[in-house]
Structures are given as C-alpha cells and as structure tokens.
Amino acid sequence: MLVHICCSVDSHYFLERIQKDYPEEKLIGFFYDPNIHPYNEYRLRYLDVEYSCKKLGIDLIEGNYNLETWLKKVKGLEQEPEKGDRCTVCFDDRLETSVKKAIELGHNKFTTTLLISPKKSQDKLELIGKNLSLKYNCDFIFKDYRSGQGTQIQGKLVKENSLYRQNYCGCLFGLEQQREHQNKIMDEMFNPISNQILPESIESRLELYKKRDSLEEQNIPYKIIKQRFLNYRLLSGITKIDKKIVPSYFLCYSKLNKTKINGRIEYEKNEISYLNREEVKILSLEIFNKIGKSNYKNVKDLIYNPPTFESELNIRNKITNNQYGLSTIVIIEKVLDGKYEIDLKATTYEDVKEVII
C-alpha cells in the first residue's frame, strides 16, 4: 500500500494504525507536497517525515517539488479560505500523483495521512479518493483515525517522539491569511541576502532538527523545550552622508522611534561616534573588526558574509554594555563629518522558539 504523507505530525500516528490494521501490507511512504512553501520549510518537513518513517520501519519515497506547476493549478484561488476550493485542487493534485505512483510501483491500494489532519475535510478527501479509485482501478483506503481520541493520541506521540510541530498548513496563501488573522509578521518568508540564520526562522528550525537527528543517532539523551523571547527582523536600512548613499550595515536589534532621522555626530568615545539623534552609534569598519575580532575588507563583504546572529548580539553588548538595548548601531567604511540621514525599518516582537537541552 502506498501512503501519501503530508507531514510527520499527521503521519506518525496514522502510519502506526495502518501498520496494525493492515499487517500483511508492505507500506511505502510517499512524500509529495509541492504546496509547501518556502523551500526550506519543505526540506524541514521532509527531514522530519524521514525521521518518523525510520522510527516506524517504513520505506520513504520523495516526489517532485514542482511548485511552479502547483501554483498554476491554484491560480485564481489564492484568496480561498482553508478547506475551500484551493484545498480541493491541492488534494486532487497530490492524490492523483500518489495513485499514479502506487500503480507505477505495482500497488493496488493507496491512502493519505491528510485524512487525520483536523484542518482537512475528510468528506472531500474521501470523494476524491473514491473517484481516483474508479479511474485508476486502485483501491482508496479511507480511515478516520481522527475520532476516538485519535487527535489526543496523535499529539502525545508527536511530543514523545520530538517531532516537528509546524505552525501553518504549508502553502503560501494559507500562511498569509493565518498571519494576517493573527496580526503577526510573516517572518517565514524572510530570506536575508546575507543568508544569516535568524532566530526562529525556518533555517534555524532546520538546524535544530538536524541536531535532533544527530543526537538520536548517537543515543544521547535530549529534550526539545520552548522559550519565549524578543525576536527581531530588519526590513530595510539606508545610510546617507551629505545626501550620498554609503554602504552600511545595521547591527541586529537596531531600531528607531521614527523610520527616518537626520543628525550630525555630536561626540566620540572609545572610537564610537554618537549622533545627536536617538542615541544612534556609528562605527567604522576598522573598529567593528577590532571589537568583533574579524577581518572584513569592506562593508559589502560584511553585508554578504555577516557574523552569526549570536556573534552580533555579543558585539552589540560590548558596544553598549546593555543586553536589552535597541539603539541603532551602524557600521560604515569610515566615519566622516557631515549630515547623516538614516532610513531604517525594523520590528521587534514577542516570539517563541524551540531549543534542545
């Protein structure tokens, strides 16, 4: 039997039950989810499904990540709500691809772990499955493992097995609607040109769950816990001296009360220059290298190859001696006299992140 898998949160308990209900069947997991966006979120969910299937002794196949084709299929349905017509088209695509894969592998049965997801319509999935079953002469196995405390058992298994509990269904359009409803920044879509791994970004989660896999392989005890913290995202930043844009780097947690300020250097201490507005601090690249013990050749090099986020926090603390500071710190090639114009858009917000202990 081929089992289409959407994510480990929904698949782990479902696969356990299918194994018990069909002990004579050779189960093959099929991860086909081109709807998941961005790509690193897709990779994270595949990594987690791979981890789950390995625990259950189930072979896993990865389908094509044909996002562009999927986007064309749901064109015009971007504003549909969860469980609406966009989801129906998405189900059609994933289940038809799954039944074709089942036949290709010589299976006469197929099913999907989407059936256990509380955010999915079982009625729609059953209807689509039955229609495909008739079309391709391959039995669709409908199982309602959601009822009979299935959801509670599933949640318990997710926690016991340290599985990745994603906080949105998967597609860009569902994510956008969900974050808008929550009045929360859609930080999953941030991908800095520096490729710096930001706190509670998808990339940071990917690193965390890779570490989980490593600890599992080494049989080292661990636990994944949650921590509340103040997160930060830089949206844009421009520095001008006498109306001329200069290459500049804004240190993490740099914020302004307003998005734009004008000012001049008021004084200097310990080779750090202070503007006469909003406690903005200006550092030359030379001083930044000295404080951070780095050897950047120019600011452009710093922009594209920055320190880790944690290293930036340490540098900030050395400059300000204030772990809770939000003052703007700008690094430029050379500190010059003149009129400084700073246009900075950044946000801080309460957030929760997972850590391994």
d(CA 49, CA 145): 18
Q: Which residues pair with 31 in a beta bridge?
A: 5, 62
Confidence at residue 148, expressed as pLDDT on a 0 to 100 scale: 86
Which residue is it, tokens 């969900």? Answer: 178
Cα radius of gyration (the chain): 25
Sequence-distant (≥ 6) Cβ neighbours of residue 316 within 8 angstroms: 251, 252, 253, 325, 329
Q: What kind and span of H or E run contains 110?
A: strand 109-112
State how far Cα 144 lies from the chain centre: 29
Confidence at residue 302, expressed as pLDDT on a 0 to 100 scale: 97
Per-residue pLDDT tens listing for the chain (357 residues): 999 999 999 999 999 999 999 999 999 999 999 999 999 999 999 999 999 999 999 999 999 999 999 999 999 999 999 889 999 999 999 999 999 999 999 999 999 999 999 888 999 999 999 999 999 999 999 999 998 889 899 999 999 999 999 989 999 999 999 999 999 999 999 888 899 999 999 999 999 999 999 999 999 999 999 999 999 999 999 999 999 999 999 999 999 999 999 999 999 998 999 999 998 999 999 999 999 999 999 999 999 999 999 999 999 999 999 888 999 999 999 999 999 999 999 999 999 999 999
Residue 307's alpha-carbon distances to 147, 194, 229, 292, 301, in angstroms, are 49, 10, 21, 9, 11
Confidence at residue 78, expressed as pLDDT on a 0 to 100 scale: 95
Give the residue from 259, 254, 273 showing the smallest Cα distance to 325.
254
Contact by Cβ (8 Å): 90, 70: yes
Q: For residues 12-29, b (16+ Cβ closer than 10 Å) or e, as one string?
A: bbbbbbbeeeeeebebbb
Q: What kind and span of H or E run contains 245?
A: strand 244-246
Give the residue from 11, 15, 12 showing the smallest Cα distance to 1.
15
Residue 210's alpha-carbon distances to 9, 41, 63, 354, in angstroms, are 17, 13, 21, 13
Helix (H, G, I), strand (E, B) or coil at 235: strand
CATH superfamily, domain 2-189, is HUPs (3.40.50.620)
Residue 220 tokens read as 């080292």
State how far Cα 137 lies from the chain centre: 38
Confidence at residue 324, expressed as pLDDT on a 0 to 100 scale: 86
Residue 95 tokens read as 């289940």
Name the H helices within the chain.
8-21, 39-56, 67-73, 85-104, 122-136, 150-160, 172-182, 202-217, 285-292, 299-304, 309-320
Confidence at residue 119, expressed as pLDDT on a 0 to 100 scale: 84
Question: Domain coordinates of the chain in residue numbers?
Answer: 2-189, 229-352
pTM above 0.85, yes or no: yes
The angle subtended at Cα 107 by Cα 103 and Cα 109, nearest 5°, is: 100
What count of residues does the chain have? 357
Contact by Cβ (8 Å): 246, 332: yes
